[in-house]
């Protein structure tokens, strides 16, 4: 078999997970509840009443999970640190037992030849901080920077690659506007405040990390940028796309990379807020230089002029924007499969952020996988999805996008937020009753991609 599409030498091949989705051990070693522990207990918020109490029991099976990755041959592993494990109340000193878990994980990875990549915030805010106001409150950003410093002090000798926030769009708008994620608030103006305070949290944390980490460490941010398309070329449809681009993409890209707020965003949201919570100096604080940008991509977003009915994660856009189903096949999430969206994003960022290396920090798909009587898990749709998306990445690289790595979401089947355990994104199947792990066909396929640094014919 020849390698038809080879990636650049040194390309990083990883898998990704997040603490609340896999760890379990929700009340062990001093961990206190996060907003997801609270939210998942509210009736009707998570399918089937699932919680992350046990999840994939990774807290107790960490060595086995690292061994699985060693077998795959991954070069990198992206995990997140649970804030309530390390600093249970969101203030004060670090809890050593919490840090120790991640120190052991980093050691185990390094012994397996795998580079640890740590995300500081993948949605598990200590409940106490939410009780004091959560992300709409400015102080949460300051607390986050202190937490970042504690984690960097504890792990900086072992972890050289850091991400501040995962998908602040979801935190702000699913958490505080549509309320489908924790903490489940439906306050559009508060969601805009949250978005700003997340940008601020990121910038303050970049400074805190740089101060605490050894020289040469890398600091990044992961955004779930929206590949927005207007349904038609009409001015009204294009204006709908502009609004979603402002609220979905530029609300983060502009403060973080250009130290400004998008003017059209401020105008579009004038009915909700005057943005006076953005203080002098904030936009300098949000735009501290980073070493790369992480992008999570799953599917494109198609919009047209119209009205959005029902709870919305798009504050102020509801009377102007309707979301259209994108054509094509769908995953078990009912998300359309369209790798061109990833290519569009990468080439856009190549043009708009020259000099900023890009890393795909999540990409993957859920399908209704099951172990057959022989114990095998055949997942040809996932292999096809991954192949299409890696082909799109390769095309963008050939066209000059500076993409340094790809992290497959996810290593393991896990707690898929409001969908619970029903949606399986893993390349390793988890039988949640026995916690038995079974690599799916896609895991073997991905191991082959990594081994040849590219896609075969
Ligand atoms: C992303 C999240 C990740 C996972 C995937 C499917 O938005 O960052 O935790 O749930 O979606």
- Ligand 1 atom nearest the C-alpha of 414 is 10
CA of 415 relative to ligand 1 center, distance in Å: 10
Pocket of ligand 1 (CB under 6 A): 18, 21, 166-167, 170, 224, 296, 362, 409, 416-417, 425
All domains in the chain, ordered by first residue: 3-452 (3.20.20.80)
What are the residues whose beta carbons fall under 8 Å from the beta carbon of 137, sequence distance 6 or more? 193, 197
Catalytic residue among 23, 108, 362, 416: 362
Q: Choose the residue to mutate in 19, 47, 119, 167 for probing ligand 1, maximizing ligand atoms within 8 Å of C-beta.
A: 167
CA of 426 relative to ligand 1 center, distance in Å: 12
User: pLDDT at position 326, please?
Assistant: 87
- Ligand 1 atom nearest the C-alpha of 425 is 6
How far is 141 from 173, CA to CA, in rounded Å? Answer: 17
Catalytic residue among 23, 108, 167, 416: 167
- Ligand 1 atom nearest the C-alpha of 417 is 10
Question: CA 81, 84, 88, 94: dihedral to nearest 10 degrees?
Answer: 0
Residue carrying the six token digits 């191991």: 447
Q: Is 203 left (phi over 0), alpha (psi -120 to 50) or beta?
A: alpha
* Per-residue CA distances from 134 to 11, 103, 143, 191, 432 (Å): 38, 28, 11, 10, 32
Q: Coil, strand, or helix at residue 217?
A: coil
User: pLDDT at position 1, please?
Assistant: 67
Tokens of 47: 């399918």
How far is 255 from 192, CA to CA, in rounded Å? Answer: 13
Count of CA atoms in the C-beta half-sphere (13 A) of 394 = 17
Q: Is 108 a catalytic residue?
A: no
CA of 1 relative to ligand 1 center, distance in Å: 33
Q: Check: CB of residue 182 under 8 Å from CB of residue 264.
A: no
Q: Choose the residue to mutate in 173, 415, 417 for probing ligand 1, maximizing ligand atoms within 8 Å of C-beta.
A: 417
Q: What is the mean pLDDT of each run of 10 residues along the chain (457 residues)?
A: 90 99 98 98 98 98 99 98 97 98 98 99 98 98 98 98 99 98 98 99 99 98 98 98 98 99 98 98 98 98 95 96 93 98 98 98 98 95 98 98 99 99 98 98 98 94
Q: What is the DSSP string of 248-290?
A: IIIHHHIIIIISS--HHHHHHTTTT---TTS-TTHHHHHT---
* Per-residue CA distances from 351 to 248, 329, 403 (Å): 18, 30, 13
pTM attached to this predicted model? 0.98
CA of 335 relative to ligand 1 center, distance in Å: 13
- Ligand 1 atom nearest the C-alpha of 222 is 8
Residues in the chain, how many?
A: 457
User: pLDDT at position 289, please?
Assistant: 98
CA of 168 relative to ligand 1 center, distance in Å: 12
74: phi then psi, degrees, rounded to nearest 5: -60, 150
Q: What is the DSSP string of 413-436?
A: ----GGGGGGS---SEEEETTTTE
How does the average pLDDT of the chain come out, rounded? Answer: 98
Residue carrying the six token digits 């107790």: 60
Q: Is 263 a catalytic residue?
A: no
| Nearest CA residue ID for atom 9, ligand 1 | 18
Q: Check: CB of residue 47 under 8 Å from CB of residue 93.
A: no
Report which secondary-structure segment, H or E, holds 127: helix 127-131
């Amino acid at each position: 078999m020849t390698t038809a599409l080879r990636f650049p030498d040194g390309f990083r091949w990883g898998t990704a997970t997040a603490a609340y989705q896999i760890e379990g051990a929700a009340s062990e070693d001093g961990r206190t509840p996060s907003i997801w522990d609270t939210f998942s207990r509210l009736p009707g918020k998570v399918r089937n009443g699932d919680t992350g109490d046990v999840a994939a029991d990774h807290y107790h099976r960490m060595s086995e999970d690292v061994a699985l990755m060693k077998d795959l041959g991954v070069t990198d592993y992206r995990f997140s640190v649970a804030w309530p494990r390390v600093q249970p109340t969101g203030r004060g000193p670090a809890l050593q037992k919490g840090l120790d878990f991640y120190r052991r994980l980093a050691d185990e990875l390094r012994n397996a030849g795998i580079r640890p990549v740590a995300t500081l915030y993948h949605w598990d805010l200590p409940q106490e901080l939410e009780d004091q106001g959560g992300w709409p409150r400015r102080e949460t950003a300051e607390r986050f920077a202190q937490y970042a410093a504690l984690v960097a002090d504890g792990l900086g000798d072992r972890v050289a690659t850091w991400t501040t926030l995962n998908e602040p769009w979801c935190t702000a708008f699913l958490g505080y506007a549509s309320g489908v994620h924790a903490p489940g608030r439906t306050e559009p103006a508060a969601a805009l405040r949250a978005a700003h305070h997340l940008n601020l949290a990121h910038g303050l944390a970049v400074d805190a990390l740089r101060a605490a980490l050894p020289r040469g460490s890398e600091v990044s941010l992961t955004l779930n940028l929206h590949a927005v398309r207007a349904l038609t070329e009409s001015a009204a449809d294009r204006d709908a796309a502009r609004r979603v681009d402002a609220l979905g993409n530029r609300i983060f890209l502009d403060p973080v990379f250009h130290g400004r707020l998008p003017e059209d965003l401020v105008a579009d949201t004038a009915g909700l807020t005057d943005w006076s919570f953005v203080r002098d100096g904030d936009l300098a604080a949000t735009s501290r230089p980073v070493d790369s940008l992480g992008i999570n991509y799953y599917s494109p977003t198609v919009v047209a002029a119209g009205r959005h009915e029902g709870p919305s994660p798009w504050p102020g856009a509801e009377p102007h924007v309707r979301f259209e189903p994108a054509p094509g096949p769908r995953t078990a999430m009912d998300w359309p499969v369209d790798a061109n969206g990833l290519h569009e994003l990468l080439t856009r960022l190549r043009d708009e952020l020259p000099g900023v290396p890009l890393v795909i920090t999540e990409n993957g798909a859920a399908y209704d996988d099951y172990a057959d009587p022989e114990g095998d898990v055949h997942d040809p749709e996932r292999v096809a999805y991954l192949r299409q998306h890696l082909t799109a990445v390769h095309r963008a690289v050939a066209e000059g996008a500076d993409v340094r790595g790809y992290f497959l979401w996810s290593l393991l089947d896990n707690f898929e937020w409001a969908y619970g355990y029903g949606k399986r994104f893993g390349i390793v199947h988890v039988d949640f009753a026995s916690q038995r792990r079974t690599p799916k066909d896609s895991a073997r396929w991905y191991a082959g991609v990594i081994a040849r640094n590219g896609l075969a014919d």
